[in-house]
Structure 1
Amino acid sequence: MAHYFEEQPSTASKPSSVDLVLPDLHLRLETDRGTFSPERIDLGTRILLESVPRPPQEGDLLDLGCGYGPIALTMASRAPEATVWAVDVNRRSLDLTERNAQAARLYKVRPFHIDEIPDDPKFRVIWSNPAIRIGKPAMHAMLTRWLNRLTDDGEAFLVVQKHLGSDSLHKWLNEQGWQATRHTSRAAYRILKVTR
């Protein structure tokens, strides 16, 4: 079975598009099979984008697991002077994020494969709908890697379904020394805010 977290999706391409409609923006995004939620904007992603505070207006921001770009493009729309790093393992997703950013004229979105991003940026904000289905050990390793790149005053906002382990993730983050709090709870999703 093919997964959206494969580097080169084996699922045959079938391009489509979805509309991202939020109170402050409306974007038409190219999608494709072999990416995360290609038929519609995922409810967790929508709740995240409707719930988080506006990002800092400058500096480096991170969309961890960008898919075809709804989170990264929202960040860039809300903080046009900031640099938005959009990272994913899926090359098809990264190509779509690049095309969607160009189409929206959001030229400070920088799609990167998760293992090719430079080491120097520290992130003032991380927004993520993390790939829970990669399994706990891989997800914990991924979150540790990227949360360690938050600035001292940085914040991460993670959206996780309750039945997919949001409460156990909340506990794990605090056990690792992070300050994790529940920012929002809606429709069986939790938005976790994580700081140093």
Structure 2
Amino acid sequence: MDNKNQHYSSEFPDVKVKIHTISESLRRHLYIFKTVTGVFSFRKMDLGTKIFIEHMSIPEEPSVMLDLGCGYGPIGIVLGYESPESIVYLIDINNHAIWCAKENVKINLMNNRNVHTLSGNYFEPIVTKHLKFDGIYMNPPLRQGRKEFLKLVHSINSYLKSKGSFQFVIRKKMGA
């Protein structure tokens, strides 16, 4: 992977950190997100994430959900807001992203103790927890290539409950 694109999918992006704020109305609610350089789409929310959030299916009953590769956390935070009785995990390898996600959980979900942020590569932080999810949600880092994405897709079923769903957004031109 070249240096230009490695930053947001790296554990410790090599960037000078500047904090930004994004305000977005999603599913009829206004959210405030802190972002920093070195995190995917740090200046404004990307269109794919916006469209995905507006159309993702959220279980009506309390569930266990995962925002995989959460970035600064918009997908997982909306899941936590829309389904406050559910347990939501947000995972990202990028430590700057996890810092943002933690801050954004505090800002947008002040009293929700059911939303957890974990640092690690894909499922690594939860392997020992033996968790199964009702829903796994993702805006995958497609700059890593189709081969990596397909490898991930093939492992998803191991982490889903029998009636669980894997929902994701992709742009065709990004290699999927």
TM-score, with length taken from structure 2: 0.87
Q: CA deviation at 1:126?
A: 1.2
The aligned residue for residue 85 of structure 1 is 89
User: Identity of paired residues, percent?
Assistant: 28
Give the Å deviation of 1:127. 1.2
Output the amino acid matched with 1:38: F
TM-score, normalising length: structure 1? 0.79
Name 1:100's counterpart in structure 2: 104
Which ranges in structure 1 are unaligned for 5 or more consecutive residues? Answer: 167-196
Query: What root-mean-square deviation, in Å, do the aligned CA atoms of Structure 1 and Structure 2 show?
Result: 1.5
Q: Which of 124, 129, 139 is matched with 1:129 structurally?
A: 139
Do the aligned partners of 2:69 and 2:92 also contact (CA within 8 Å) in 1?
yes
CA contact (8 A) 2:145 2:175 kept: no
Alignment pair present for 1:144 and 2:154: yes
Whether 1:60 aligns to 2:64 is yes
Q: Which of 116, 119, 128 is 1:113 aligned to?
A: 119
> Structure 2: which 5+ runs fail to align?
none
Structure 1 CA distance for aligned equivalents of residues 136 and 27 of structure 2: 21
Contact map agreement 2:133 2:160 (CA 8 A) in 1:
yes
Judge conservation of contact 2:64–2:86 (CA < 8 Å) in 1: yes
Opposite residue 157 of structure 1, the aligned amino acid is Q
Task: Provide the C-alpha distance between the structure 1 equivalents of 2:74 and 2:97, rounded to a whole number of angstroms.
Answer: 11
Q: Which has the higher relative contact order, 1 or 2, with Cα contacts under 8 A spaced 6 or more apart? A: 2
Task: List, as ranges, runs of 4+ consecutive aligned residues in structure 1 with deviation greater than 6 Å.
Answer: none
In the TM superposition, residue 19 of structure 1 has moved relative to its aligned partner by: 1.0
- How far apart are the structure 2 equivalents of 1:120 and 1:59? 16
Distance 1:134 1:55 in 2: 30
1:28 aligns with 2:38: no
Displacement of 1:56 after TM fit?
Answer: 4.1
One-letter amino acid of the counterpart of residue 110, structure 1: H
